A and B are shown apart, each in its own frame.
Chain A
Amino acid sequence: MTGSPPRTNNGAAAALLRAHRFRAIELIPWILAIAVYFLFPGYRLLATQILVLILFAISLDLIVGYAGIVSLGHAAFFGTGAYTAALLADAGWQEPISALALGAVTAGLLGWVSGWIILRTRELTLLMLTMALGIILYELAKDLDDITGGFDGINFENSAILGLFPFDVLYYTTNYWYAFAFLVLGFLVARTVVYAPFGRSLVGIRENVRRMHAIGTPVQQRMRHVYVIAAMIAGVAGAIWVQVQGNITIGVYEFEMSGNILIMLILGGTGRLYGAFVGVTVFTILENLTETVLGTDPPYWELVVGVALIVTVLFAPRGLLGVFDPLIRRFRERTP
C-alpha cells in the first residue's frame, strides 16, 4: 500500500477533476457584471433583475439540463421563496439574510413534497404536473389576497444587510451587490453539484435511465435530491427578487414566469450552467430594447422573441452557447 490516493491512476476521475477546475475564461461574466455596475449606473435595476434571473435559470438548469426533468412550473419555488421572505419582513422579521434562508427552506420543503409525488412520472405527464402545481399555487395566492396582497401586492422593508448596508430602492447600490453575492454563491453550489459524482450520475440518468438503474444508481432518490436543491436555489432567487424591490405581487407565481425562465435557459443552452447567463441576459436586454425603441402597442417584442425562438431551434439547437461548440472543439484539437 502506498500513500498516494488511488484516483491519481484513474483516468475517468482525473477527467472529472479537470472539468471541475476553474478556467480563466470563467471570469468573464463576473468581470462584466462588475463593469456594468460602474459603466451603466442608470440600468442597475435591470442589471439586478438579470442577476437574480440568472440564479433562477441556473436552478432550472440543474433539473432540466442535468437531470432531464423538464418543468413548466418552476415559478412555484421562486414564488414560495419570495413570499416567505416578504411575509416575514411584513410581519416584522426584517433581517434579510435569515429571511432568505427561510425562503430557501420553504421552497425546498415544497420541492421535497412535490418531487416525491410528481417525479414518478415522465415526459408530458411530468410537464403537465409541474405546470398544474405552479398554476394551483398562483390561483391560491390570488384567492388568498388578504395574505398575499393579490395583484396590488405588499410593500415591505428589510433592515440593513449584516446591519451595515441598507437597501437602496432608488439607486440599487447595495441591492446590486446583494444579488451579485448570492449569484456567486448559488453558482458555486450548482457548479460543485454538477461536477460531483452526484451530478455525473444525474447526467447518466438523463442520457440512459435504464443503464443507471442497472448499475444500481438509486435513480428516483437522485432525482428527488436534485429537485430539492434546485427548488432551494429558486427560492433564494425569489427571495432576492422581492427583497431588492421591497415589494411583492402574485406575479412571482405566474405561469409566464415559469415559461419565460425556461425559454431563457433553452435559448442560452441547457446543461452547461453558463447557458443561463447568456440566455437571461440576451432575452432581458432584447425585451427591454424592443419595448423602449419600438413600444409595446403593436407587440413587436412577441414577434422578435417568436422569430428568435424558431430560428434558435432550427439553426442553433444546442442554444446560443452551443453555437461555439464546434469552434472550441477545433481550437482544442489544434492545441493539445
Chain B
Amino acid sequence: MAAAFDIATTILVFGLAYAMLLFIISVGLSITMGLMGFVNLAHGAFAMVGGYITVKLVAPMGVPYLLALVIAFFLVAALGVVMDRLLYRHVYGRPELDQVLFTIGIVFASVAGVSFVWGPDPQNILLPEILLGDIDLGFKNIPIYRAFMIVAGGVIVAALFFGLERTKIGAQVRAAVDNRRMAESCGIPTGRLFTIIFALGSGMAALGGGLGIQILGGLKPVFAFEYLVIFLIVVAVGGLGNIRGTFVAALLLGIIDFAGKYFLPEGGGFFIYGVTFIVLLWRPHGLFGKA
C-alpha cells in the first residue's frame, strides 16, 4: 500500500512537472494557431534557442539562473517579432501545406544554426544550489527542481488566465480567436494583436526551454525536431486557441507519458500517441475546441 502510494506520488510529481513544461511551451503555439490558423512547426525552435541562451548565460557568463530565464524570454520574444515581420508574414493566409513546408524549413535551418554556433554536443545546465536536493513534504521527499517547475508552471498558468480573462487585451485575443473578421469589424487591430501574441508565445517557449533543460534530458540541436510532435499534439488535443484546453491536454499527456515510461521503460512511448489518437477521434476539434 505504502509502495503504491509512493509510486503514485512520484508519477504525479514528475508527471506534473513535465506537464507544466509542456503547457508553458505549447500555449503560445495554441494561441497563434487559433488566432491566425497558422501552422507553425518551428515553435520548438524558439524553445531550443531559449534553452541555449539560458545555458550560455549561466555557465560561461555567470548570470544567475532566474535572471538568465528572464533575459532569454525577452531576447526570444524580440526574435519572434523579427521573424514575424521579416519572414512569417509572407505565409499567413497561404495554404496549410506551404506553411508546413516553410516552418519545417525554419526548423532545419535553426538546427543547423544552433550547431554552428554552439556545437553539436548535448548541453546541460548548472542549476543554482537552491534548486538542488530534495524537499521534505512529511510523507515523501521530492526533488526541489521538480517542485520549482510545478510552482513556476502554476504561477504562469495563473498569470495567463488572469491576463486572458480579466484584461482588455485578453478579451481582444479571445474575440479574435472566436471570430477574426467580426473582431476586426469591431475595430480590434488583429494584426498588431497577433504580433504581440506571437512575441509572447515565443518568449514563453524560450522560458520553457530554459526551465526544462533538465527534465528534457539536456539540450541538443535536434531538440526542435524531437519535441515538435509533442507540442503539436498537446495543441491539437487541447483545441486550437483554447488555453484551458491546452492546460488540460498538457496535464493529461504529460502525466500519461511519464506514467507510461515509468511502468514500461521499453515501450511506453506509444501511450501518449494512443491517447491522442483516441481523443481526436472522439472530439476532432480537441477536448475544448469549438466545432
| A residues adjacent to B (C-beta < 8 A) | 64, 70, 117-118, 120-125, 127-129, 131-133, 135-136, 139-140, 142-143, 255, 259, 262-263, 266-267, 270, 297-303, 305-310, 312-314, 317
A123 B96 Cβ-Cβ under 8 A: yes
Shortest Cβ distance from residue B251 to the other chain A in the assembled complex, whole angstroms: 18
- Say yes or no: is B90 at the interface (Cβ < 8 Å to chain A): yes
- Whole-angstrom CA separation of A117 from B280 in the bound complex: 11
> Which one, B98, B229, B286, contacts A135 given CB within 8 A?
B229
Given contacts A263-B101, A310-B105, contact A143 B281 (CB under 8 A): no
B253-277 with Cβ < 8 A to chain A: 266-267, 269-270, 273-274, 276-277
Please pick, from B90, B104, B111, B232, the residue contacting A128 in the complex, using a CB distance under 8 A. B232
* B110 surroundings in chain A (CB, below 8 A): 306
Chain A positions within 8 Å of B240 at CB level:
124
Q: Residues of B contacting A142 with CB < 8 Å? A: 267, 269
Q: Is the CB of A143 within 8 A of B33?
A: no
Closest Cβ–Cβ distance, residue A302 to chain B (whole Å): 4
5 further A-B pairs in the complex, CB-CB below 8 A; given A270-B97, A303-B112: A131-B233, A132-B277, A263-B104, A310-B105, A312-B101
> 12 interchain pairs (CB within 8 A)?
A128-B233, A131-B229, A136-B270, A142-B269, A262-B100, A266-B100, A297-B120, A299-B112, A302-B109, A312-B101, A313-B98, A314-B102
Across the interface, do A317 and B98 meet the contact criterion of CB distance under 8 Å?
yes
**Residue in B108, B109, B112, B284 whose beta carbon sits within 8 Å of that of A121 in the complex:** B284
State the Cβ distance, B237 to closest chain A Cβ, in Å: 8
Q: Which residues of the partner chain A approach B116 to less than 8 Å between Cβ atoms?
A: 298, 303
The yes or no answer to B167 lying at the interface (CB within 8 A) is no
Supposing A121-B280, A128-B233, A298-B116 touch, asked if A306 and B105 sit within 8 A by C-beta, the answer is yes
Q: Does B115 contact A (CB under 8 A)?
A: yes
Which residues from chain B contact A299 at a C-beta distance below 8 Å?
111-112, 115, 120, 221
Question: Is B147 positioned at the interface, with any CB of A under 8 Å from its CB?
Answer: no
Query: Bound complex: CA of A263 vs CA of B115, how far in Å?
Result: 22
Whether A309 and B229, one on each chain, are in contact in the complex, defined by CB atoms closer than 8 angstroms, is no
Q: Is the CB of A118 within 8 A of B281?
A: yes
Whether A129 and B280, one on each chain, are in contact in the complex, defined by CB atoms closer than 8 angstroms, is yes
CB-nearest residue of chain B to A303: B112
In the complex, which residue of chain B has the Cβ closest to the Cβ of A137? B270
Q: Mark B90-131, 1 if CB is under 8 A from A, else 0.
A: 110010111011101111111111011000100000000000
Would you give the shortest CB distance from A320 to chain B, in whole angstroms?
12
**Closest 8 A-B residue pairs measured CB to CB?**
A309-B105, A306-B109, A306-B108, A139-B270, A143-B267, A303-B112, A302-B112, A313-B102
Cβ of A303 and Cβ of B108 under 8 Å apart? Answer: yes
Shortest CB-to-CB span from A157 to chain B, Å, is: 30
Closest to B267 in A: A143
User: Is the Cβ of B102 less than 8 Å from the Cβ of A124?
Assistant: no
- In the bound complex, CA of A72 to CA of B98 (Å): 14
Contact B115 A310 (CB under 8 A): no
Q: How far is the CA of A302 from the CA of B284 in the complex (A)?
A: 34
CA distance A266 to B103 in the complex (A): 13
The answer to whether B285 has its CB under 8 Å from any CB of chain A is yes
